[in-house]
Structure 1
Amino acid sequence: MANQAMSSRRMIAPAEALQSLSATLLAVERLAIMGFMFLLAGLILLNVVTRYSGRPIYWVDESAIYSVVWLTFIGASAMTRLRLDFAVSMLTERLSERGQKTAKVIATGMVVVFGLSLAAMCWLWMDPVGIARAGFDARAFAGETFNFLYTERTQTLNWPTWMLYLILPIFALSMTIHGLANLVEDLGLVPPAALKGFVLSDVDGVN
């Protein structure tokens, strides 16, 4: 009995740590979402005022576009933890209770697999080892690998594009963490955590 209790505790402790990490990440994402929403509203308002006054600011449009991109990916990550991603329930609602739980575990596992796959793709694409080996010389790296990621810049802001593309590995990592937190809950290793800062209601057709 004592050995079983110790084994059970060894499984629960990492699951609780994963839940805590996901909760912290979700709190940061909540602040980031609010920040980007205020930023986007401010940029749109600035664009309207400057255009109406006949003195448009040329970099506002591009800033708004990248704000929407970051807001979308951060929001999608948060929705993963909140289980607000869309689900088709035509098949699962006809399964037994055990079958529904199994299908839910499989669906959550696929989210984790997708996050890990996206993270691997970002690693190959951004090649941090390769750019470090080139002494962080973007031109030398591009000449050796024909990967021009670190030499490209945005059209109006003139920012390095790799800085803006960082949202992809961030999204992959955060979605994987949230997916694992959901998975340990679906497996019954820990009870579902109370997610603070979000007002949720029961909605049909979501996971």
Structure 2
Amino acid sequence: MSSVLSEERVERAGVLARVSARLAAVEWYCAGLLLCVVFLLLLLNVVTRSLGSPLIWVDELAIYVMIWAALIGASIGIRNRDHIAMTLLTDMLPVGSRRALLIGVDAALLVFFAILGVILWNWFDPVGVLAAETLAEFSQKSFNFIYEEPTTTIAMRKVWFWLILPAFFLSGTLHAAANLATRLRGGEGER
């Protein structure tokens, strides 16, 4: 029955909610896959340490993979409105005031993502990177070493792992906008 209600809610919300729902389905698979990778990395770490020749890079890679899984999970939580919430005030409000407050919460989340987007744009500085002849020149002129900083043990540039931040920004913005659109259209959204 809950899936029927969910489908009705998505149908009322329109294209944005349908895209959000499809993205969330992909995110579920990605998060599950990443958690399996973390488990396998930790298992590999246990085995190699017990054999007396630990692989140092496994710990660092497991941390980065867990961060990816956590941010993908956070995006799913935004889509489903499953994050921890203090509902004492909203539970005491009349329906109209509760709806207005929840719309404000959804709008505030979009403001958060707008600020995050500006921060990421400035940090990743794609215009500056494209204008520079080399990454070394970009780093020297901007003192921004995001594209050159190596990981400690994996021998990769950290930027490959930091790319989860723009991905989280895009998916979280989409989910927050879909939630706000659903709520504005009078769809479910009491959570």
- In 2, Cα distance between equivalents of 1:16 and 1:67: 33
Contact 1:116 1:173 in 2 (8 A): no
Q: Residue deviations 1:10-65, cap 9 Å, x none?
A: xxx9x512112111211110111111011011001110111111111111000111
- In 2, Cα distance between equivalents of 1:120 and 1:173: 12
Flag the structure with higher helix content: 2
Q: Which residue of 1 aligns with 2:116?
A: 118
Q: Residue deviations 1:74-102, cap 9 Å, x none?
A: 00000000110111112111111101111
Q: Which residue of 2 aligns with 1:23?
A: 21
Q: Which residue of 2 aligns with 1:150?
A: 147
Q: Which residue of 1 aligns with 2:54?
A: 56
Could you tell me which amino acid in structure 2 is paired with residue 154 of structure 1?
T
Alignment RMSD: 1.7
Q: Which residue of 2 aligns with 1:107?
A: 105
- In 1, Cα distance between equivalents of 2:22 and 2:153: 35
Identity %: 37
Q: Which residue of 2 aligns with 1:134?
A: 132
Q: Which residue of 1 aligns with 2:163?
A: 166
Question: What SS does the corresponding residue of 2:52 show, helix, strand or coil?
Answer: coil
Could you tell me which amino acid in structure 2 is paired with residue 138 of structure 1?
L
- In 2, Cα distance between equivalents of 1:58 and 1:89: 45
Decide which of 36, 39, 43 is 2:37's aligned counterpart.
39
Decide which of 74, 77, 90 is 1:76's aligned counterpart.
74
Q: Report the CA distance between 1:180 and its aligned residue.
A: 0.6
Could you tell me which amino acid in structure 2 is paired with residue 75 of structure 1?
G
- In 2, Cα distance between equivalents of 1:114 and 1:172: 10
- In 2, Cα distance between equivalents of 1:163 and 1:120: 20
- In 1, Cα distance between equivalents of 2:158 and 2:31: 21
Decide which of 70, 77, 85 is 1:87's aligned counterpart.
85
Runs of 4 or more, structure 1, over 6 Å off, are none
Q: Report the CA distance between 1:192 and its aligned residue.
A: 4.8
Q: Which residue of 1 aligns with 2:7?
A: none
How many pairs does the alignment contain? Answer: 180
For structure 1, the residue ranges without an aligned partner over 5 or more in a row are: 1-12, 194-205
Q: Residue deviations 1:151-191, cap 9 Å, x none?
A: 101011111111111111111111110001100111126x4
